[in-house]
Amino acid sequence: MRRAFLAFALLWAGSGCSLYLPTRFADRPPATRVADDAPIPLPQHHELLETVRWSDIYLRRPLVRALDPERPPRAGDVNSIDEVPASSWFQPLTGEELSDAWWGGGPPEPPIEAIGGKPDVISGAIRVKDSRGVIYELEGDPAKAPNSRTSAGPITARLIRAIGYRTAPAHRIAITREDLVDGDPKNRVLRRGQERRVMMATRWPLGTDIGVTPPRGLRADDANDRVPHEHRRTLRALQPIAAWLDISGISAHCMRDAYVGPPGDGYVQHFYVRSSPGLGSARLVAGQPYESAAGVVAGSPLVNLFTLGLSSRGIDSKTPSDTRLLASSPSVESFTASTPYEPFDEVRPDDVYWALKRVASISDESLTRAVQAGGQPLAEQQRMIATLKQRVLDLAALTLTAVTAIEFESIDKDRLILQDFASYRFGDQPVPHDVWLYDARGHLLSRSLLPPGPRAALAIPRVIGLDYLVVRVRARRTPMPRAAELHLRLHPSPHLVGILH
Amino acid sequence: MKRGRSLLLVAWVLFGTWFGVPSSARGETRGEREGSRGQAQPPAADTSAGPDGKPEGATASEPGAEVQTRPEDVPGIERGGREAGDLSRELAGGLLWLPRQTVELLFFASGNAAGLIDDEQVIPRVEDTLNPPKGEVRVFPTLFVETAGPLSVGMRMLARADNFGSTVRFGFGGRRELVAESRLRATLAEPRPIVLGIELLHDVRGSRGYLGVGQEPTSDPRNIFRTDSTEREGKYEEIRERFITSIGVRPLEDLELLLSSSITSRHLLDADDAEEQRLSRVFDLEQLPGGLGLRRITYNEVGLRVDTRKGRNGAHPGIQLETYLGHALGIPPTETSFIRSGGRIATYFEVYKRSNILSPRLVLDTMRPLDNASIPFNELTRQPDFRGFDSRRDFSSLVASLDYRWTVMRYLAARLFADAAIVAPDLPGLRHETPRFAAGSALDFFTRSGSLGSVTTVFSPEGFKLTLSFGVAGGFGDRQHRD
């Protein structure tokens, strides 16, 4: 009896493992805007407490991940057609609106006064107030890598804004003593004897700063915050975006929250704030001494350990041979963030694909204007633009190994028109696609093959009693990517209700 | 009539409540609130005319229509799907739920406040008080392992709100090794940084050792060993309760003034399971100052510290000078009265590179009885700064140390150190004793902003010691927190 029960249980488990049950979408239009701007009281300031954060990301996180065999859930801020609607987290802009967001009130207007206090955005930055009373954080270039951070910051901030993230506006500026109140007698901005300095000015806060965006969970005192942050595509997708822009130092400190509006009548907006380590600029000073809680870090760890720190390496480290932005960057595929960031643990192929689509949506004009903000010579701008475009192609190639990049175009009578995104957007060689049709319960109705092409049409079956149709499509690529699904309601006439990638 | 009046009352209360709560509590969005002046919007998903003028009720396949939705309705999913293999993953996930939740509970954490964790009175510098993390209640694990000592595991809970911070700590190292401690601190940044603290401690230490007084206890004539004992180390159990109040102010950037008072109750018992090593079997308790039993002592101390270093982790050059004066008085029937005084001087200077710090240090502690009072043996000055075996006690102590510390990489530093320690009945006597030596190495682990843990190995003629600590401060702190 016991053996029979065991055999039954094993059989049930075995058969159950392969059960496919399609998602069922509601028959309503996809959300295009999230109503997460209801007035709330001013939330508490939240900073990451480093000691416990480190025990969290290096002890709790790997333990919990090892004990959780389930797949990361689909992102919670994604609508039924696999897009991220506009919200306090994401606000796609184009044209003049995008230019205005980039400008963001412009660079500080003289006279500028150093006001002291701990910077919120960039550690080691100088907080200043301009003649309008607007606060900025100023950051200079490392001595051995001129035009690195001050150039990369404005470009990175603009490109991330062009993708759709709210960003702290950043500008590359040149400051002279005449621009500073009383000529900066205490030399807080300019060093002694220095008359001019190129710096990056990041405007922050944009509202009332309420600290770092918690990397996981919710902000408990924000009633509009309903999706755990590790389940947000906007945060998960920062990984492929960071790979594209080579932001090696991307971490929880890159996102900050600001309360916008008068106390009691405002709401929280979420900003990407730390843009200066972008375009590989953080790598240009790798090997240069820098401050950490453990002390000044210089040279190679192993050499340091075995020479008791007495090796001459690191004292006067040579700057990398090629100090141009993105010149020493690893490929998109081999990019890794220097510290773990909880939302990256949950990244799914559909999140990466969405990031690719957002990156690919940046127009050539926007890309060119963003790169111009770095103040580099024309030839260097052209090289950077070409490199960024090539990295988009690299990101696309990487994404296509995991996702079937099929897009819905339209329904023409009883024909479903589909686009091969890679072929359509990047001119890739089209590939054939396997197609399976399922009903709402996951029963296979038919199987067919879509011929290769940028666009393809599929006949929609009209069967009595069939109201919900799942079109499962998988590209014939090596390695085989996961299938995409298009969900259709057939009555009163066929229409799309959902997409899964 | 009565019923109608009641209904009216209920309706009025509900109406009043609805308008009394903030709009966020009512779940009203900005669009609804602003839109309500002109038109009402459906609560879940609404379809308004888009910029292209498309009519309401546009379907998913009709582009251009703006659809505003509550955050929880964004996915538009009626029923979640299941991929092949999901069921077995869910099954395995269910089986692992309990251990997973245990880990989550243990770590539901990330909160730290240096002053609450360090066993030392520290007043934050001005810039550290400007952006205090607050509103956090966190728990994280602690671990302390030392060779020849019990393994101690535990947890520390931290909470912080505005200018207040509190911590509760529990540690468990066996049936007769446990500690529970609670601390509350208030910090004011203006006009100068001030810290007020209250602490409560209860701990049980089941096997404490006592060799006797002096640098060489076995030959020191002040120690009266029982003639019928061959052992020279007595073991006793101590149950301790301690209450500390403190105030610290930083009048100048590098200067700290510390005032503190404590009441400590110690109940000393024979270690029953130590057999021949029981304190009563090794020493003549009649001749042992204080002997076993219950003692209560108050201790008040004033301290002054000048520390020019940028941080306290040993990575920055500078000078550290510290001096203190304290008075202890027994609470009847405990009869004792004595003064503690001493200080430390340490310099930290760079060697060859900014990442290498050499630091010589001298720590002097001394105590004197008042009115010819007797000082209980377990109140005698010990040597917590000596990283070998801290087993000597006397009226005066001198510990000299030389540390060489270098940064290996971000989050990791290494140390080599050597210590020499002497105890004597008085200050001049320190010159006549032969010091004990210990040397060793350590790896210190750091977070972005502070210490995380360390592994220390120490070699001395008395033996080898390996210490691993995680989530707790290494070493000992000021006099109030010692022993």
- CA B323, CA B321: separation in Å to the nearest integer? 7
Of A56, A78, A500, the CB nearest to B74: A78
- CA A382, CA A373: separation in Å to the nearest integer? 13
pLDDT value at position B3? 45
Does the pLDDT of residue A121 top 70, yes or no? yes
**To the nearest whole percent, how much of chain B has pLDDT over 90?**
33
Does the pLDDT of residue A364 top 80, yes or no? yes
Q: If pLDDT is split at 50, 70 and 90, which confidence band does A15 have?
A: very low
Does the pLDDT of residue B53 top 60, yes or no? no
The whole-angstrom distance between residue A224's C-alpha and the CA centroid of its chain comes to 21
Question: Model's pTM, two decimal places?
Answer: 0.63
Contacts B409 to A, Cβ<8 Å = 294, 297, 301, 304
Q: If pLDDT is split at 50, 70 and 90, which confidence band does A1 have?
A: very low
pLDDT value at position B113? 38
Q: Which amino acid is at A216?
A: R
DSSP A169-201: -EEEEEEEGGGBGGG-TT-SSSPTT--EEEEEE
User: Under an 8 A CB cutoff, do A63 and B89 touch?
Assistant: no
Condensed to tens digits (0 to 9), the pLDDT of residues B366-399 reads 999 998 889 999 999 999 899 998 889 999 999 9
Of B65, B352, B409, the CB nearest to A29: B65
Burial of residue B241 (number of CB atoms within 10 Å: 0-12, 13-18, 19+): middle
Query: Which of A213, A224, A206 lies closest to A38 in space, CA to CA?
Result: A224
Query: Which one has a higher pLDDT value, B22 or A385?
Result: A385
User: Under an 8 A CB cutoff, do A294 and B412 touch?
Assistant: yes
**Residues found in chain A:** 501
Q: If pLDDT is split at 50, 70 and 90, which confidence band does A189 have?
A: confident
Condensed to tens digits (0 to 9), the pLDDT of residues A51-79 reads 667 767 777 788 888 888 888 999 999 99
Cα-only R_g, chain A: 26
Q: Where are the alpha helices (DSSP H) in A233-377?
A: 233-236, 238-245, 281-284, 301-306, 342-345, 349-360, 364-372
- CA A248, CA A255: separation in Å to the nearest integer? 15
Q: What Cα–Cα distance (Å) separates residue A135 from each residue in A169, A177, B5?
A: 12, 19, 58
- CA A490, CA B7: separation in Å to the nearest integer? 49
Does the pLDDT of residue B326 top 70, yes or no? yes
pLDDT value at position B449? 59
Of A44, A49, A117, the CB nearest to B112: A49
Q: What Cα–Cα distance (Å) separates residue A57 from each residue in A63, A269, A346, B287, B392?
A: 10, 25, 14, 56, 42
Give me the mean pLDDT over the A448-464 stretch. Answer: 90
Does the pLDDT of residue B307 top 80, yes or no? yes
pLDDT value at position B131? 34
Q: How many CA atoms lie less than 13 Å away from A248 in the CB half-sphere?
A: 18
pLDDT value at position B56? 34
Query: How confident is the prediction for chain A on average, in pLDDT?
Result: 88
pLDDT value at position A2? 53
- CA A71, CA B447: separation in Å to the nearest integer? 30
User: Under an 8 A CB cutoff, do B315 and A80 touch?
Assistant: no
pLDDT value at position B17? 35
Find which of B41-55, B61-75, B386-400 is predicted with most confidence, using mean pLDDT.
B386-400
Q: Is the peptide bond before A451 cis (omega within 30 degrees of 0)?
A: no
User: Which of A322-331, B31-40, B285-294 has the least mean pLDDT?
Assistant: B31-40
B23: left (phi over 0), alpha (psi -120 to 50) or beta: alpha
Condensed to tens digits (0 to 9), the pLDDT of residues A209-229 reads 999 999 988 998 899 999 999
Contacts B406 to A, Cβ<8 Å = 295, 304, 308-310
Nearest CA in chain A to B312: A293
Give yes or no for a contact between B295 and B268, defined as CB atoms under 8 angstroms apart. yes
- CA B75, CA A49: separation in Å to the nearest integer? 33
**To the nearest whole percent, how much of chain B has pLDDT over 70?**
73
Q: Which residue has the tokens 């150190």?
A: B417
Q: Does A15 touch chain B (CB under 8 A)?
A: no
Q: Which amino acid is at A22?
A: P
pLDDT value at position B58? 35
- CA B186, CA B164: separation in Å to the nearest integer? 4
Q: Which amino acid is at B427?
A: L
Q: Does B48 touch chain A (CB under 8 A)?
A: no
Give yes or no for a contact between A483 and A21, defined as CB atoms under 8 angstroms apart. no
pLDDT value at position B42? 33
pLDDT value at position B20? 37
Predicted ipTM? 0.82
- CA B471, CA B466: separation in Å to the nearest integer? 17
Q: Which amino acid is at B396?
A: S
Does the pLDDT of residue B139 top 90, yes or no? no
Tokens of A36: 């997460």
Does the pLDDT of residue B110 top 90, yes or no? no
In this structure, what is the dihedral angle of CA atoms A113, A119, A122, A126, given to the nearest 10 degrees? 20
Condensed to tens digits (0 to 9), the pLDDT of residues B76-104 reads 999 988 887 788 888 888 888 877 777 77
Give me the mean pLDDT over the B28-52 stretch. Answer: 40
DSSP B332-358: TT---EEEEEEEEEEEEEEESEEEEEE
Q: How many CA atoms lie less than 13 Å away from B130 in the CB half-sphere?
A: 9
Q: If pLDDT is split at 50, 70 and 90, which confidence band does B243 have?
A: very high
Does the pLDDT of residue A419 top 50, yes or no? yes
From chain B residues 243-282, the ones with a CB under 8 A of any chain A CB are: none
pLDDT value at position A192? 82
